[in-house]
Structure 1
Amino acid sequence: MTIDTLLFDLDDTLLEYEQRSPDVLAASFDRVGVDSFFDIPAYHARYDEFLEAGLSVNDQRANCFAAIARENGYDEETGRAVAAAFAEVRDHSRVRFLPGASETLEALTGEHALGIVTNGAPEMQRAKMAALGVERYVDTIVFAGHDAPAKPNPEPFERALSELDSTPERALHVGNSLDTDVPGAKAAGLGAVWVPADPDETPDPTPDFAFETLHPLTERPWRMP
């Protein structure tokens, strides 16, 4: 296949927080003075329901925490207080590249058109990218859930390709999520790279490539017979 365009997810694909999310949530409950009534997986499972254009990430998180609180027998204001504490503890500039991420971006930039397609509020995601200089590598950024519907809707992928003057047949999307990245890319007609892949999991739909780190992308595996 002739591939000249690569789109990347951001969180847990190119970078991760230095602060562990469970630690941030635990500190948030402590600040409010309430027992923990949900965990990070429960938050992540619900977050996309509350993506809404025009809302800040803090407002989206507050709406999510309020709903989780109500469903667990707490009043919504308790959930919003935990969300406010979470926002105070979380530092979006304290991020680091995942293994192979910076090397991959450095190797591919210039030779390929690169873009970011991320579910997340622009102010939050830009702070992360600015901390690591990600934007110098890419030609477009689509904030799914704000510029377009959230992944796995195909529209954010289509928008990125349009801005890069590319087509699905010439593009791959690289992401970690089997719920948003792989099915979203496939729905838009792109090839899908699943990373970091779990060898014990059988993805559906099946990605075109699956790697445990980003390092193999520097070898352009799509060019190999």
Structure 2
Amino acid sequence: MKIKNITDVFFDLDHTLWDFDKNSALTFEKIFEINKIEVEINKFLDIYLPINLNYWKLYREDKVSKETLRFGRLNDAFLALEVEVNREVIDKLSDDYIEHLSSFNHLFDNTFEILDYLNENYSLHIITNGFDEVQHKKMAKSNILHYFNTVTNSEMVGVKKPNPKIFNYALDLANTKPETSIMIGDSFEADILGAKNIGMDVIFFDINNITLDDDTKQVDNLLSLRHYL
């Protein structure tokens, strides 16, 4: 059923439009080769991914700094793998990761199709917790930046989703109101609960086969957004 009275559509970026897991894996392959790190990439990713998720949760909750996240996720992964990598090399890997991440730009299936479709009737925006220096490059290099009237990231605002302040900042920047706006994202905590808490409508982009217990609208393919918008 189509949702009425929506003028502005807000998207999360990573894991919603930009295929973070695929691009990140390719980046690690590249920087391990550059820095001669002899670790089997899939073995590394199996350990790293849950560690990274936990660091991002702590970062959202302001329990760790950006610097701690960037160093700690790599250091903890190598420790768990019992691979000795000194601090200097980890710092370089951390910098190289940020530098090369935007050189891979796989998007989720049908990203261009859905943005073209929505762009005809709505004003489109991004709200992201990703780092300022990377997010703009990702969008520019993957050729989606021009679709969005505004881009709000957590470093601009000083808080991260689900904090209401970042949503209110984004709404002000877009010159719109919660009741005429909708948020689409893959994180139930950051995107869905965060947006709901300030009165925005929401659609959960389910990339991990999670069935929600409540009546939240959800899709597992971007083109399915056409059922609602």
Match of 2:118 among 91, 108, 128: 108
**TM-score, structure 2 as length reference:** 0.76
**d(CA) in 2 for partners of 1:128, 1:169:** 30
Q: Which amino acid aligns with 1:188?
A: I
Structure 1: 5+ residue runs without aligned partners?
none
- Contact between 2:59 and 2:66, CA under 8 Å: does it hold in 1? no
Match of 2:92 among 67, 77, 84: 84
Structure 2: 5+ residue runs without aligned partners?
none
Aligned to 1:47: 56
Q: How far does residue 43 in structure 1 lie from its aligned partner after superposition? A: 1.2
Percent pairwise identity: 23
Q: C-alpha offsets along residues 89-128 of structure 1, whole Å, 9 cap, x if unaligned?
A: 5431211221121111111124211110001111101110
Aligned to 1:125: 135
Q: C-alpha offsets along residues 57-84 of structure 1, whole Å, 9 cap, x if unaligned?
A: 7775125545x47996x9xx83563352
Q: Map 1:1-225; keep pairs closer than 5 Å.
A: 1-17=4-20, 18-21=22-25, 24=28, 28=32, 31=36, 38-50=47-59, 60-62=69-71, 64-65=73-74, 68=76, 78=86, 81-88=89-96, 90-199=100-209, 201-203=210-212, 206-207=215-216, 209-217=217-225, 219=226, 221-222=228-229
**d(CA) in 2 for partners of 1:179, 1:83:** 30
**TM-score, structure 1 as length reference:** 0.77
**d(CA) in 1 for partners of 2:7, 2:134:** 29
Q: How far does residue 156 in structure 1 lie from its aligned partner after superposition? A: 1.4
Instruction: After superposing the two structures, state which structure 1 stretch, 151-160 or 25-34, moved more.
Output: 25-34
Compute the RMSD of aligned alpha carbons: 3.7
- Contact between 2:27 and 2:104, CA under 8 Å: does it hold in 1? no
- Contact between 1:171 and 1:190, CA under 8 Å: does it hold in 2? yes
**d(CA) in 2 for partners of 1:97, 1:197:** 13
Give the number of the structure whose residues are more often helix, by fraction: 2
CA distance 1:62–1:25, change in 2 (3 Å): farther
Q: How far does residue 168 in structure 1 lie from its aligned partner after superposition? A: 1.0
